[in-house]
A and B are shown apart, each in its own frame.
Chain A
Amino acid sequence: MVERTPFLNFFTHVILFVGFVLCIAPFVVVTIAASHNLKDVNDVPMSLLPGSDFWLNIKTAWTTADLGPKLLNSFIMAAGVAAGKVMISAFTAFSIVYFRYPGRTFIFWLIFVTLMLPLEVRIVPTYAVVANVLSPYQTILDLTGLSWLVEKVSGVQVSLSLGLLNSYSGLILPLIATATGTFLYRQFFLTVPDELTEAARMDGAGALRFFIDILLPLSRNNMAALGTIMFLWAWNQYLWPLLITTDQSHATAVTELKQLIPNVGGIPEWNIAMAGTLIVMLPPLIVVVAMQRWFVRGLIATEK
């Protein structure tokens, strides 16, 4: 709809501009603070003219918080979550949309319910499972009396144990298991014309072949969108990495930022903390900029 109303145009631009300022202001303040020296950053009010210690602060933040390996950890986790999510969502949505089998609705709702149970809600049982992935099986064996039976018969005590604390799998897997991606794919798959499926069947392609040759290429915009969202989401995770990485070697950049925040009574090095924030902010920003084109297309348009 094109309307020629100069006043309305002006008004909408004012609103847009206010929104833009609101969004960009904290970022500007952080950047300026990161360029001050210790004295200037603690002035009240802080000078809004950039200082000259930007690169020095960045360097200090990098070494103090050991950001190199932490950024790598973060990247592995975020990329792993994004990739895992993109794959598992595609598979689950494929199963739900294209196959008729008993219990399909039940499984659909089971997946749906995970939307209402984010990680924070089920964090204690999730932690227990990650601490020993096999504990549910152990419980089943114990409850059914099977482990008792095995112990009586063979004298071997059944005790299954596989811990994922302080590992990439432990960081990644629990974050993959949610339903958001499944629904994004489901909505997209439902728009794929049935005739395409039938044409593939006539061409002799089986279900998996159809999935790989037809469905996945068609959903690449979707994958880009979901991948981007999941990368950002995983990158920004705080509680879960904090909980399961007791060992520094697997800590992520976001949790390590805490190292840079001045303690009460310590030196108020806010300039260093802000510099660290900027570093940690950078990778997701790059991802968004790089993926922007596909990202927007995947969320709004259906290519026909």
Chain B
Amino acid sequence: MASITIRDVKKSYAKSQVVHGVDLDIASGEFVVILGPSGCGKSTLLRMIAGLEDISGGTIAIDGTVVNKLEPRERGCAMVFQNYALYPHMSVAQNIGYSLKVAGVPAAERTQRIQAVARTLELEHLLDRKPMALSGGQRQRVAMGRAMIREPKVFLFDEPLSNLDAKLRVQMRSEIRKLHRRLNATSVFVTHDQVEAMTLADRLVVMNGGRVEQVGTPGEVYSRPASRFVATFVGAPAMNMLEGTVELDGLSLLGGSRRLAVQRAGLAVGTQVAVGIRPEAVRLVAPGTAGALDATVDLVEELGAGRVVYVDLDGASFSVMTSEAVHPEPGSTVGLRFSPDDLHFFSSETRTRLEVFKASVPEPAL
């Protein structure tokens, strides 16, 4: 068990800086997921914790000890790689036990510990196989076993599920979660898959462009996104964003064609904002309903359990997720209705969340 303290950590390659001063505290036994699009620096951050990348600035401490200059083996981290990185010429047992062999653990104890790990991961019948003869899910388990056997202070996962097919991914996801509950080891999990991130994380770290956008529980990140990026990145389909301007008696949307009557608290008239509404927070009602916005249906995506309805709102694309048994025809007009509590406001300038608004129901354009 160990805590990780990351202070103003930077990473730059010859010319470009890829991580711009990240601060993060990971408590002992916590499962933290770093989520972000590819190229946001999340893997780089993980690899800096592991010791596979040099740290260009700032400090990383594990259990209070600054590890910047320590070799990976001295940090007490174990890592599960995206492509598993199993040694192709070694059997499953040898793969799992290699770190113990390097550490000079006697053969008898080694066998015993390999057996124990294999039992946990249900790999006992595969111990003599070579990685070539294993399926994707089995390889994944071997990779986990290799990390587990060292009883590390910290588990690092670098997109370990992205090479699996959809069904296995769901299965391995819950296995990782169960495993964490049992071992209760500090874990850092990097992924670009938000479902993975939401389901696994105790705490979610959303990164973009080498910076941390938000840290919080999956619920917080979903319900109170700290920035426009987080709002559109977390949640599928993505949150709808409508550009607007603060006016004296409310908010004008989409260049003035629609209006929202909101109380503005301390924001100057003329301030540019973005209003976000989650597709699942919107209800479809009959066109012309009082307090609803009318829009034209573009496309309906059938999901089985529900439907995503893409509508055109005065030229702006807008999506609605509904589980009701409505099947609007493309080209028809529908009303969009939502609760003012479900609106999110972001400053167009800083792109961060604004808490000052209390919204009320939209008024149709005159």
Q: Which candidate, A191-199, A226-234, A243-251, A267-275, is the interface stretch facing chain B?
A: A191-199
What are 26 A-B pairs with beta-carbon distances under 8 A?
A193-B83, A193-B85, A195-B83, A195-B85, A196-B85, A198-B52, A198-B85, A199-B81, A199-B87, A201-B51, A201-B72, A202-B50, A202-B52, A202-B72, A202-B73, A202-B79, A203-B98, A203-B102, A204-B72, A204-B102, A204-B103, A213-B98, A213-B102, A214-B87, A214-B89, A218-B89
Instruction: Report which of A199, A209, A217 forms a contact with B89, defined as CB distance below 8 A.
Output: A217
A202 CA to B155 CA, complexed, in Å: 11
Task: Indicate whether B146 reaches chain A with its CB closer than 8 angstroms.
Answer: yes
Main secondary structure of the interface of B (DSSP, over half): loop
Query: Using Cβ atoms and an 8 Å threshold, which residues of chain A touch B85?
Result: 193, 195-196, 198-199
Interface string of B87-104 (1 = CB under 8 A from A): 111000000001100110
Task: Indicate whether A122 reaches chain B with its CB closer than 8 angstroms.
Answer: no
Task: Indicate whether A205 reaches chain B with its CB closer than 8 angstroms.
Answer: yes
Task: Indicate whether B292 reaches chain A with its CB closer than 8 angstroms.
Answer: no
Query: Using Cβ atoms and an 8 Å threshold, which residues of chain B touch A204?
Result: 72-73, 99, 102-103
Task: Indicate whether B77 reaches chain A with its CB closer than 8 angstroms.
Answer: yes
A-B contact count (CB 8 A): 57
Give B79's nearest chain A residue, CB to CB: A202
User: Which residue among B51, B86, B88 has the maximum number of chain A CB atoms within 10 Å of its CB?
Assistant: B88
A202 CA to B49 CA, complexed, in Å: 12
Task: Indicate whether A303 reaches chain B with its CB closer than 8 angstroms.
Answer: yes
The 4 closest A-B pairs by CB, nearest first: A204-B73, A195-B85, A203-B99, A199-B85
Task: Indicate whether B78 reaches chain A with its CB closer than 8 angstroms.
Answer: yes
Minimal beta-carbon separation of B56 from chain A (angstroms) = 16
Query: Using Cβ atoms and an 8 Å threshold, which residues of chain A touch B78?
Result: 202
A residues touching B (Cβ–Cβ < 8 Å)? 193, 195-196, 198-205, 209, 213-214, 217-218, 303-304
Query: Using Cβ atoms and an 8 Å threshold, which residues of chain A touch B72?
Result: 201-202, 204
B146 touches A203 (CB 8 A): yes
Query: Using Cβ atoms and an 8 Å threshold, which residues of chain A touch B99?
Result: 202-204
Instruction: Report which of B81, B86, B98, B103 forms a contact with A198, defined as CB distance below 8 A.
Output: B81
Query: Using Cβ atoms and an 8 Å threshold, which residues of chain B touch A213?
Result: 98, 102
Q: If A195-B82, A198-B52 touch, does A203 touch B73 (CB 8 Å cutoff)?
A: yes
Minimal beta-carbon separation of B363 from chain A (angstroms) = 57
Q: If A202-B73, A203-B102 touch, does A218 touch B81 (CB 8 Å cutoff)?
A: no
Minimal beta-carbon separation of B49 from chain A (angstroms) = 11
A209 CA to B87 CA, complexed, in Å: 14
Give B143's nearest chain A residue, CB to CB: A199
B87 touches A202 (CB 8 A): no
Query: Using Cβ atoms and an 8 Å threshold, which residues of chain B touch A200?
Result: 87, 98
Minimal beta-carbon separation of A5 from chain B (angstroms) = 36
Minimal beta-carbon separation of A193 from chain B (angstroms) = 7
A187 CA to B87 CA, complexed, in Å: 19
A191 CA to B296 CA, complexed, in Å: 54
Minimal beta-carbon separation of B113 from chain A (angstroms) = 14
Query: Using Cβ atoms and an 8 Å threshold, which residues of chain A touch B146?
Result: 199, 203
Query: Using Cβ atoms and an 8 Å threshold, which residues of chain A touch B51?
Result: 201
Instruction: Report which of A196, A199, A217 forms a contact with B79, defined as CB distance below 8 A.
Output: A199
Interface string of B23-61 (1 = CB under 8 A from A): 000000000000000000000000000111000000000
Give A218's nearest chain B residue, CB to CB: B89
Query: Using Cβ atoms and an 8 Å threshold, which residues of chain A touch B81?
Result: 195, 198-199
Minimal beta-carbon separation of B88 from chain A (angstroms) = 7
Give B84's nearest chain A residue, CB to CB: A195
A302 CA to B346 CA, complexed, in Å: 53
User: Which residue among A195, A209, A304 has the maximum number of chain B CB atoms within 10 Å of its CB?
Assistant: A195
